[in-house]
């Protein structure tokens, strides 16, 4: 007898209460995975006092989660297509929950670093699997767009919420509570997942290409590491070399995918007329989002003088607009507005957000919050549409790989945004800080405020005021650059998406005229095998 929970809706069929309930179950672990990016912001002082990590160990406690997550996304997305997305999702939930307990009760820095690495493994399984399962459950284009819009909003909001939740938990409990909060959602997913979520996989995936796994990690990790360190440390040789090494391995990885019999990421994905533009535009949108976050978080704390907790609470306000943006974009597309116009409009809206940031002074709390909110709403509009386009373009059998490629591109875009815009802001800051200021004050705003605190009377106040003015000038310059980039992306979106045709039911055409679909797509159900 067929298990009804393992079947998928017929193409174009409307999802019912079961699918929407399942979406709610998927959103909880997704929220926690995104929160874990920022959940240590307030917990690290308590962790440092308890575990006494070295400076290097503290950096790894912060960074290992994001590094492992980025490095394994493509591997896990392809693995889910082969063994089943629900199976991989449940494995990831078990790993994430177990690692959360391990992290909460870690008695050494080494143990916490190892636990954070396992959390990254779990996160890498959860993110592409949730997106691929959403594509499986919601075959009606309108419902799929709404579901992906919710996915995008939860991902964006989770990063902002993580720092606030960690502050509240650390204030009333011990630092391990920031990890234990993951357990209820993971247990809920493990209990309800087998009941509510359909299983699906590629019926003819071919052999798993093991060589592509280390190649993909060698391509992603050095680039992410290099561009992540450049804004803080400058264009030092080791970081530039790291990026170049990553690019060499990227070329080797691409060559392997083009020549392997069963590649990790099939080049056939790019036959979809809208897939390549979706990946590129999604990367650019992530560039814009993370590039602005680099400045706004420092502005709230170091320019306006807000405490870490107050800054985190204020930063939640812009996310209110995020919850509206994706559903509105989906409605516009469903009402007949061409997707190219919605996406280009999202980029223009985001550029306006940067325009507001460019007008900010050293005492412009509401202007900066408004700019951040307008920017985020425009970016989420773009991201939700690009995810919907990309997943609607590829065969169902390859949705895990497609989702992982989108997420990996977003990781690259975010790191590049912080590196490029951060470097622009840093260059302007160093130019505008008084030439006679101490060396530490000329490096960063934080260094300048620390030096100013040790200077007597008016000298300290004058240095602090000059440093805040210089940082704001740097933010303004970076905002202008970001606005120009996003306006260029709006033009690119119009040019690249205007010929992406739409069927009567709203599904974007997966291939150009006369191009054959990949083998998996020719299977019944579009390459989908129910369990």
Whose tokens are 């606030």? That residue is 164
Confidence at residue 126, expressed as pLDDT on a 0 to 100 scale:
82
Q: Is residue 527 over pLDDT 80?
A: no
Name all contacts of 228-233 with Cβ < 8 Å and 24+ positions apart. Answer: 228/63, 228/415, 228/418, 228/419, 230/419, 230/422, 230/423, 231/294, 231/418, 231/419, 231/422, 231/423, 231/426, 232/422, 232/444
Predicted confidence (pLDDT) at residue 484 exceeds the cutoff of 90 = yes
Per-residue pLDDT reduced to its tens digit, 374-426:
998 898 888 888 888 887 777 777 777 788 888 888 877 877 887 788 888 88
Burial, 315: exposed, middle or buried (Cβ in 10 Å; 0-12, 13-18, 19+)? buried
- C-alpha torsion angle, residues 395, 25, 278, 326 (rounded to 10): 130
Whether the pLDDT of residue 531 is over 60: the answer is: no
Residue 16 has pLDDT above 50, yes or no: yes
Asked whether the beta carbons of 322 and 378 are under 8 A apart, the reply is: no
Higher pLDDT, 487 or 267: 487
Of 144, 145, 142, 78, the C-alpha closest to 402 is 78
- Which H or E element spans position 180? helix 177-180
- Of residues 23 and 515, more confidence is placed in 23
Average confidence (pLDDT) over 243-272 = 83
- Measure the CA–CA gap between 427 and 474, rounded to whole angstroms: 7
Q: What share of the chain is helix, strand, coil (3-state, %, to 5)?
A: 75, 0, 20
Residues 101-111: tens digit of each pLDDT: 998 898 888 88
Condensed to tens digits (0 to 9), the pLDDT of residues 445-482 reads: 777 777 777 777 777 788 888 888 888 999 999 999 99
Cα angle 301, 302, 305; round to 5: 65
Q: Per-residue confidence at 516, pLDDT binned at 50, 70, 90?
A: very low
Quick one: 447 exposed, middle or buried, by C-beta within 10 A (0-12, 13-18, 19+)? middle
Greatest distance between any 2 Cα atoms in the chain: 82
Residue 522 has pLDDT above 50, yes or no: no
Q: Is 508 helix (H, G, I), strand (E, B) or coil?
A: strand
Please state, rounded to an integer, the average pLDDT across all residues of the chain: 78
Least Cα distance to 380 among 337, 295, 321 occurs for 321
Structure tokens at 504: 């009567």
HEC sequence for 367-396? HHHHHHHHHHHHHHHHHHHHHHHHHHHCCH
What pLDDT does residue 232 have?
64
pLDDT at 510 over 60: no
Question: What b/e sequence results for 35-64 when a residue is b if at least 16 CB atoms lie within 10 Å of its CB, and e otherwise?
Answer: bbbbbbbbbbebbbeebebeeebbebbbbb
Q: Give pLDDT tens digits for 167-207.
A: 777 777 877 888 888 888 888 888 887 888 877 777 776 67
Question: Could you tell me which of 311, 229, 292, 293 has the C-alpha nearest to residue 42?
Answer: 311
For 217, the 3-state DSSP assignment is helix
Structure tokens at 334: 């469903």
Query: Using a CB cutoff of 8 Å and minimum separation of 24, what contacts does 248-254 make?
Result: 249/215, 249/218, 249/219, 249/222, 250/219, 250/223, 252/215, 252/218, 252/219, 253/212, 253/215, 253/216, 253/218, 253/219
Whether 506 has a pLDDT exceeding 50, the answer reads no
E strand intervals along 24-164: none
Residue 513's pLDDT band, with cuts at 50, 70 and 90, is very low
List the one residue out of 494, 483, 278 whose CA is nearest residue 383.
278
Which of 49-63, 83-97, 330-344, 473-487 is predicted most confidently? 473-487
pLDDT at 512 > cutoff 70: no
* Span 308-320, pLDDT tens digits: 777 777 877 877 7
What confidence tier does 529 reach under pLDDT thresholds 50, 70, 90?
very low
Q: Is the pLDDT of residue 435 over 80?
A: no
pTM for this prediction: 0.78
The whole-angstrom separation of Cα 278 and Cα 270 is 10
């Amino acid at each position: 007898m067929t298990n009804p929970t393992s079947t998928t809706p017929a193409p174009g069929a409307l999802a019912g209460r079961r699918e929407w309930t399942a979406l709610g179950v998927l959103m909880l672990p997704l929220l926690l995975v995104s929160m874990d990016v920022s959940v240590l912001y307030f917990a690290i002082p308590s962790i440092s006092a308890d575990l006494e990590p070295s400076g290097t160990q503290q950096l790894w406690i912060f960074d290992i989660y994001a590094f492992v997550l980025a490095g394994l996304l493509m591997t896990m997305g392809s693995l889910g297509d082969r063994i089943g997305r629900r199976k991989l999702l449940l494995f990831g939930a078990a790993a994430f929950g177990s690692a959360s307990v391990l992290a909460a009760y870690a008695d050494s820095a080494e143990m916490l670093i190892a636990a954070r690495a396992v959390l990254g493994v779990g996160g890498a399984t959860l993110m592409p699997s949730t997106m691929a399962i959403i594509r499986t459950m919601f075959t009606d284009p309108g419902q799929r767009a709404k579901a992906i819009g919710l996915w995008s909003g939860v991902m964006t909001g989770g990063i902002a919420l993580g720092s606030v939740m960690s502050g509240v938990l650390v204030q009333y409990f011990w630092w391990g509570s920031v990890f234990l909060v993951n357990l209820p959602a993971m247990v809920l997913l493990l209990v309800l997942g087998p009941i509510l979520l359909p299983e699906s996989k590629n019926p003819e995936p071919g052999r798993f290409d093991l060589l592509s796994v280390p190649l993909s990690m060698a391509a992603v990790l050095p680039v992410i590491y290099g561009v992540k360190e450049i804004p803080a440390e400058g264009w030092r040789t080791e970081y530039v070399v790291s990026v170049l090494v990553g690019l060499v391995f990227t070329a080797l990885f691409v060559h392997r995918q083009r020549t392997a019999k069963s590649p990790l990421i099939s080049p056939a994905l790019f036959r979809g007329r809208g897939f390549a533009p979706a990946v590129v535009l999604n990367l650019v949108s992530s560039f814009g989002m993370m590039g602005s976050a680099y400045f706004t978080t420092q502005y709230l704390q170091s320019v306006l003088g807000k405490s870490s907790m107050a800054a985190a609470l204020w930063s939640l306000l812009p996310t209110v607009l995020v919850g509206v943006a994706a559903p509105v974009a989906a409605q516009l597309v469903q009402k007949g507005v061409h997707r190219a116009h919605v996406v280009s409009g999202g980029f223009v809206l985001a550029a306006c957000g940067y325009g507001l940031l460019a007008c900010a002074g050293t005492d412009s709390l509401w202007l900066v919050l408004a700019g951040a909110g307008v920017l985020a709403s425009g970016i989420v509009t773009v991201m939700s549409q690009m995810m919907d386009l990309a997943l609607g373009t590829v065969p169902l059998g390859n949705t895990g790989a497609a989702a992982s490629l989108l997420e990996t591109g977003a990781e690259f875009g975010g790191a590049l945004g912080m590196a490029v815009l951060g470097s622009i802001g840093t260059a302007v800051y160093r130019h505008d800080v008084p030439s006679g200021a101490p060396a530490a004050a000329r490096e960063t705003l934080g260094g300048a405020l620390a030096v100013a605190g040790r200077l007597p009377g008016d000298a300290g106040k004058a240095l602090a005021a000059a440093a805040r003015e210089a940082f704001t000038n740097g933010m303004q310059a970076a905002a202008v650059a970001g606005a120009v980039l996003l306006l260029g992306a709006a033009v690119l979106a119009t040019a690249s998406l205007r010929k992406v045709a739409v069927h009567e039911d709203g599904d974007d055409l997966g291939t150009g005229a006369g191009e054959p679909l990949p083998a998996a797509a020719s299977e019944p159900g579009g390459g989908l095998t129910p369990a």
